[in-house]
């Protein structure tokens, strides 16, 4: 058997007990959107808007995982992962967002979790991976505080119902849920707002805090509660002072807006200045930051690429027309060989810098899991580009560990090709190829490579 060091040169030894996993999310794989009383989510509705999703696709049928999950658990077992990161679909549990609980939805996750445990695979459960019940969006969505309260009720209900889950994550990537969904309009619910998007970001964090408190009130022995952020270092597109300032503004919007309140108990000092007239932050209430910054048992970091930022030559002068996205920054994707099949910049150094930067900035940083990292392309079973990407990013993770960051595990995105949000099914991130016409699953070269990395390491289940 080859060792991890041979498969991932430069990684150093991953510590004993290092958790090897893969990740998915409910809406991207489950399909079965009308099964067992599930209510509509914002993604079901958004997908029907002409032009919202490539080729007019939606999460129906995705990978039909709702029915084919036993086969997918076998694929996980064949990979040898110690952990599997999945998300629960809120609209399966509360079809109307709150009130009536749909037991059949909970039963699905119970069966899945039992199936994982029988295979010695530790479930890492995310409570919110972007599929808000449409009924709540109709009442204001994340713009309104009530959604945070409903989220806490939902979190408590799922937590009580699902035994055998040691790791609970409240939110996946609140940046995308708020800014991509409510400011850029590229994701559900497709809004293009300024103040509303910033209110969403805040209410997501409040929801996180409320949910954490509810989970902890009834925590079973050893249960851990955390949150997952997507982090992209802001890199100035040129040596100019203007671009350096633009990169810092981007860093605020993508990273610091979330890390500072969660880990530091305060919003960044430059927030009011950067957002200017976009928002008066009147949605903040006394006590919110205390709630948001309750200590985390772990932090999940999703990393794909850094953002190269340039000062925008034009800023919308009319505040009424401004979106939260208009902070005088233009993102640039430098050309060159270092891009994925989807054209995403490949810079493994950004992952290392993200991890070491967090440890340097926050003295009480909780243990970290890389909860997503992966490579998108348009489909090839002999996916050498994906293998190279994963190898380099695992080496970057190993380098951060060697520099003293407590990284406890790594989850590759994703087990299966799946519904890649606004890109639809054309963009593929899986270690396993999915033929959507037949639902046939075929492991790619990267599946075999990752299996060998895991087998050659001293890691195990969490």
Nearer to ligand FCB, 116 or 301 (CB): 301
* Residue with smaller CB distance to ligand FCB, 116 or 229: 229
> Which of 127, 190, 120 shows the shortest CA–CA distance to 459?
120
Q: Return the active site residues.
A: 173, 372
Position 131 contacts ligand FCB (CB under 6 A): no
462 counts as binding ligand FCB under rule CB under 6 A: no
CA distances from 6 to 397, 416, 448 (A): 15, 26, 15
66, 31 Cβ separation under 8 angstroms: yes
Output the CA torsion 175→178→184→187 (10° steps).
Answer: 90
Measured from the CB atom, the residue of 161 and 426 that comes closer to ligand FCB is: 426
Residue 192 has a CB neighbour count (10 Å cut-off) of: 16
Site string (293-312) toward ligand FCB, x via CB under 6 A: ---------x----------
Distance between CA atoms of residues 234 and 253, nearest Å:
10
Residues of this chain, 199-258, that bind ligand FCB according to CB under 6 A: 230
Query: What DSSP character marks residue 460?
Result: B
Q: How many CB atoms lie within 10 A of CB 382?
A: 10
The verdict on 429 binding ligand FCB (CB under 6 A) reads yes
Regarding 172 and contact with ligand FCB (CB under 6 A), the answer is yes
**Is the Cβ of residue 383 or residue 420 nearer to ligand FCB in the bound state?**
420
What string marks each residue from 27 to 66 as x (binds ligand FCB by CB under 6 A) or -? -x--------------------------------------
> Given the rule CB under 6 A, which of 89-97, 171-179, 273-281, 333-341 is the region that contacts ligand FCB?
171-179
Indicate the residue among 185 and 328 with the shorter CB distance to ligand FCB. Answer: 185
Count of residues near ligand FCB by CB under 6 A: 12
Cβ-count burial 44-81 (b if 16+ within 10 Å, e if not): bbbbeeeebbeeebbbbbbbbbbebbeebbebbbebbb
394-423 residues near ligand FCB, rule: CB under 6 A: 413, 420-421
| Residue 372 is a binding residue for ligand FCB (CB under 6 A) | yes
Beta strands in 246-381 (DSSP E): 298-302, 307-311, 329-332, 368-372
Q: Binding residues for ligand FCB, per CB under 6 A?
A: 25, 28, 172-173, 176, 230, 302, 372, 413, 420-421, 429
């Amino acid at each position: 058997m080859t060792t991890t060091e041979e498969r991932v040169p430069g990684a150093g030894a991953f510590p004993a007990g290092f958790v090897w996993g893969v990740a998915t999310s409910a809406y991207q794989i489950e399909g079965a959107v009308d099964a067992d009383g599930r209510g509509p989510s914002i993604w079901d509705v958004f997908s029907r808007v002409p032009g919202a999703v490539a080729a007019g696709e939606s999460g129906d049928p995705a990978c039909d995982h709702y029915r084919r999950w036993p086969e997918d658990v076998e694929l996980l077992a064949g990979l040898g992962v110690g952990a599997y990161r999945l998300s629960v679909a809120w609209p399966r549990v509360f079809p109307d967002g709150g009130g009536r609980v749909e037991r059949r939805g909970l039963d699905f996750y119970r069966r899945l979790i039992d199936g994982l445990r029988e295979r010695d695979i530790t479930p890492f459960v995310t409570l919110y991976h972007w599929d808000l019940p449409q009924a709540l969006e109709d009442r204001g969505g994340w713009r309104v505080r009530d959604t945070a309260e409903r989220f806490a009720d939902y979190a408590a209900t799922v937590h009580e119902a699902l035994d055998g889950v040691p790791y609970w994550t409240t939110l996946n990537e609140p940046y995308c849920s708020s800014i991509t969904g409510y400011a850029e309009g590229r994701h559900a619910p497709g809004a293009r707002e300024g103040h509303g998007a910033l209110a969403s970001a805040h209410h997501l964090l409040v929801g996180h805090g409320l949910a954490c408190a509810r989970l902890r009130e009834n925590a079973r022995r050893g249960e851990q509660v955390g949150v997952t952020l997507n982090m992209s270092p802001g890199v100035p597109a040129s040596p100019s002072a203007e671009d350096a300032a633009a990169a810092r503004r981007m860093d605020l919007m993508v990273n610091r807006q979330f890390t500072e309140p969660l880990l530091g108990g305060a919003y960044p000092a430059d927030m009011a200045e950067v957002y200017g007239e976009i928002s008066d932050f009147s949605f903040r209430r006394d006590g919110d930051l205390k709630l948001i910054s309750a200590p985390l048992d772990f932090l999940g970091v999703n990393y794909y690429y850094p953002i190269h930022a340039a000062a925008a030559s034009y800023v919308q002068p009319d505040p009424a027309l401004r979106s939260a996205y208009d902070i005088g920054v233009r993102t640039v994707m430098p050309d060159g060989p270092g891009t994925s099949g989807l054209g995403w910049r490949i810079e493994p150094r950004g992952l290392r810098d993200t991890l070491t930067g967090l440890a340097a900035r926050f003295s009480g940083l909780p243990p970290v899991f890389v909860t997503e990292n992966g490579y998108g392309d348009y489909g090839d079973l002999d996916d050498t580009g994906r293998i190279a990407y994963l190898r380099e990013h695992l080496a970057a993770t190993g380098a951060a560990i060697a520099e003293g960051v407590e990284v406890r595990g790594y989850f590759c995105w994703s087990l299966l090709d799946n519904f890649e949000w606004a890109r639809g099914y054309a963009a593929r991130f899986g270690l396993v190829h999915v033929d959507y016409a037949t639902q046939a699953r075929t492991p790619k070269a990267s599946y075999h490579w990752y299996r060998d990395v895991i087998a050659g390491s001293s890691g195990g289940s969490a």
